Amino acid sequence: MLLNLNYTMLDSLITSKTRLKLLIKFFVSASNQSHLRGLADEFQESTNAIRKELNQLSEAGYLEKSTEKNKILYRANTKHSLFAPLQKLIHTYLGIDEIVDNILQQAGDIQEVSLVGDYAEGVDSGKIDVLVLGENINQAYLLLLADKVEKKLGKQVNLSFQKTIEEQRYIILYTNHSTI
C-alpha cells in the first residue's frame, strides 16, 4: 500500500510526464547521459517538450551539460545537494529499493544484485529486469517475491541468475564486498 501511495504522491508532485521520465532517466543511475534528439526518440516526444524540461532542470542545477561532437549531453549533477535524495526518491518510486532489501533478507549467499535492461538505460518501460548473482540462491523464494513485487508495483519484474551477453548495460544495486 505504501508503494502505491508513493506513485500517487510523486505523480501529483511532478505533474509533467516528460519531467518524470527525465528524472528517471538521469537519476536511476548517475552514469546515464543523453542528448536532446536521443531523448526525443527514446520518449517518443517532441524535441520542444524535451528541450523545455531539460532547460528547466539544468537551470535549477539538477542536470549538467557538456558538449561532445556538436551535441549537448545531459547527465545528473551528482554534486547537487539534492542528488542523493532525488536518486533515493526515484529508486523508491520504481520499487528498486524494496526489491533489493527483500532479496538480501532471505535469498541465500548473494554476491551482487544489478538492474539490467530498460531501467539500467533509464527508461521506465514497466518491465524491471534484475540480475542476482551468488551461491545457494533460493530461486523459488525470489520468483515468489518477484510476483508479489509485480502486483505491488504494477510492473513486470524479471529475475535472472546468470549473466548473459545481452546485459551490456547494468547498474549494481548491491555488492557483497566480503565475497569479492
pLDDT tens, position by position, 107-159:
778 888 888 888 777 777 888 888 888 888 888 888 888 888 788 777 888 88
Query: Whole-prediction pTM value?
Result: 0.62
Q: How confident is the model at residue 62 (pLDDT cuts 50, 70, 90)?
A: very high
Helix axes 17-27, 47-59, angle to 10 degrees: 60
